[in-house]
Structure 1
Amino acid sequence: MMPLVSVRDLKRHYDIRLTGGLFGRRAKLKAVDGVSFDLKMGETLGLVGESGCGKSTTAKLVLGLIPATSGTVSFDGSAVTAAHDAQWRHMRRRMQMIYQDPLGALDRRLPVSAQIGEPIAVHEPHVPADEREARVGEIMTSVGLRADQAASYPHELSGGQRQRVVIARALALQPDFIVCDEPVSALDVSIQAQVLNLLEDLKERNGFTSLFISHDLKVVRQMSDRVAVMYLGMIVEEGPPEDVFHAPMHPYTQALVSAIPTPSRRGKRERIVLEGDPPNPVNKPSGCPFHPRCPSAMSECREFQPMLASHGSRKVACHLRPAPSAGLIAAE
């Protein structure tokens, strides 16, 4: 079956000036540096990694919000580009985004009903106002908002309620693909669970495909059918959550998983502490980008960049012919 979303060797490099003046020294910041993945209809891919690894930039590239330096993105067989023409607008109604900061994503000057109904007004201008209002009411009910909150402004709602408005707006056109960019990181822990459960219920009910971005591995495990781990603009491991989290192969994934707190001692392993900070994406190291922090780095790692290769149920970018390492998250 042809994937709904297909990403191939996607790159986004930024030209930056290191020193001032007209003839100042310039360099390239490699925010995304060769990302590839596929998403089947109804599937959720969790994209996880440290802050600054390129997750949100990847999301914007996939939706065509910013242009790629190179590589391709296709949606349902058609190329996604940053040229916001009629074809892109037609495609865009089938692709929506749930943002990290609900207050920043909403217009503080408009009541929430107007903001939820705005995608319908833009993409389906032929729909009468009363029908649009009825659809907005149905969508609000589906995400757990009350009818009397339709006239409320964003600042009058709680953080969880604002995020439900953002979700409702993303669902207004019944999209096939939704990008969730850290959708619960700005919320209290108790509210996070409510929003995550809502997203799971909506996915089961509507059957949409999603790219779920987070730095929280436990959240990604809950929400994803597959997980891709990013490091310095590249995917270093990809596979089913139960495999990636219970027996990580890449040394970076092993370090991430070892840091996850667990209430049980069953399957618990020693914490792997990485030395140093992630390299500057302006001055990426040669070979494997992880080798300066990798406790198992070899001379080969310093010279050659490993390709993302299949290892059973997973793909791993490592020269070590990776063997699974016992993870921290016990099966539940």
Structure 2
Amino acid sequence: MSESGQSPEAPAGKGVPTTGHTWDDNLRELDNPLPRWWLWGFYATVIFSLIYWLLYPAWPVADTFTKGLSTVTFEVDGEERTTHWNSRALLVRDMQTGDSALRQREFLQVIDDSTLDEVLGDTNKLAFVNSYGRGMFGDFCAACHQTGGAGLMGVYPNLADDNWHWGGDVETIAQTITHGRLGFMPDYREVLDEQQRDHVAAYVLSLAGYEGDAEKIARGGEIFQGREGGCHACHRHDGTGLRSQGAPDLTNDIWQNIDVAGAEDDAARRALISQLVHDGVRQEMPAFGDRLSDAEIKVLATYVHQFGGGQ
């Protein structure tokens, strides 16, 4: 009914009735039916929603949610595991069975079957090593050794130079990644007094090419080479270090734990070394043999090997 109590009328020249609402005497609201395509689209979205709610996680219920009927199957430690559909399980499955994952495994096997010379001499193999190795380094190593491998002085070793305490060939780097390392130097706080530590520091600086007081250097050499300090047992009599122990070379003027090069003068350099001798060193790198496959470790070792040019 219109406001005048009469039935809705179609506008002149039109075959469509109105809703009965009239404004300003001549403005009427037409009562057109919804387009059929729009109705079918709406019904389709309703049906789609019902199916989606049945198949996938959808509705919160108390402190949980509806899991849905759809499932995802993937492997965990060599055994199949099936769980309700979720994005994390889907990602795990895709990383195991997706096209990219299968190609990755094929390339990993190729690298595992190749020698270092073959990898470095093949553009495609080297490109894969650098791409896949960069990702693994970012996931497992960069938190300590930094993105470019420069490390943090006194905490994490610099991998971007050619100073490899344990050895810098690919096989040794792979062994380091697989089994981890424990860098250890005992503290001498109760073995050597302050003056003795200062003498040892003077001698160590002389090994690296620094000049100093001849008497201090001579006395420090006696402590270093004798039973009093026994430093030669790890660093060898010539100070070149012992890789089987991870003992650094003291003759190359490369310092991992203290910033000798940045010290103001000789006294400051001796103080840094004396403090290190007093405190000792204990640095541990975890093992990754239980987290990475042999092929992945080889790729990562080859990638790291390129940081410092290798040895």
Q: How does the TM-score come out when normalised to structure 1? A: 0.23
- The answer to which structure has the higher strand fraction is 1
- The answer to which structure has the higher helix fraction is 2
Q: How does the TM-score come out when normalised to structure 2? A: 0.24
**Over alpha carbons, which structure has the higher Rg?**
2
